[in-house]
Amino acid sequence: DQQVKQNSPSLSVQEGRISILNCDYTNSMFDYFLWYKKYPAEGPTFLISISSIKDKNEDGRFTVFLNKSAKHLSLHIVPSQPGDSAVYFCAGDTGSKLTFGTGTRLQVTL
C-alpha cells in the first residue's frame, strides 16, 4: 500500500517560470508533510514542511499548499532556477514514522 504518491516521475520547466510538484496521500494519521530535495550522489536534504492543521507554508521561493479534504499537497517554486534541478520527495509524518513518495525529477532549463 503506497501511502504517499507522486504520480509525475519527471517535470521540465523553463528558468524563471513556476514549478509545481504534486503529491497525494492516503494515510489520515499524517500530522506533518515534508518536502526533501536530492541531488545525485547526495542524501536528501530538508526543504520545507507543513503541519496538517495549516493549508499553506511559505519560505522564500518555496510554498507548500495542503488540501486535506482532497488529501493532496503541492510544492510551488517561483521563480525556478537551474540549481533547483533535483529529485523532490514528498513525505508524510505520523509523529513516529516518515513515509516517502517515489519522487519527481525536476529539470529547470535555460
Partner 1 sequence: EAGVAQSPRYKIIEKRQSVAFWCNPISGHATLYWYQQILGQGPKLLIQFQNNGVVDDSQLPKDRFSAERLKGVDSTLKIQPAKLEDSAVYLCASSLVLSDTGELFFGEGSRLTVL
> What is each CA distance from 67 to 33, 48, 82, in whole angstroms?
12, 16, 28
Considering only residues 40-79, where is the footprint of partner 1 by CB under 8 A? 41-46, 49
Q: Which of 84, 74, 99, 68 is nearest to 17 (CA)?
A: 84
95 binds partner 1 (CB under 8 A): yes
C-beta atoms surrounding 48 within 10 Å: 17
Measured from the CB atom, the residue of 63 and 101 that comes closer to partner 1 is 101
100 binds partner 1 (CB under 8 A): yes
Measured from the CB atom, the residue of 60 and 110 that comes closer to partner 1 is 60
Q: In the complex, which residues of this chain contact partner 1 (CB under 8 A)? A: 4, 6, 9, 32, 34, 36, 41-46, 49, 89, 91, 93, 95-103
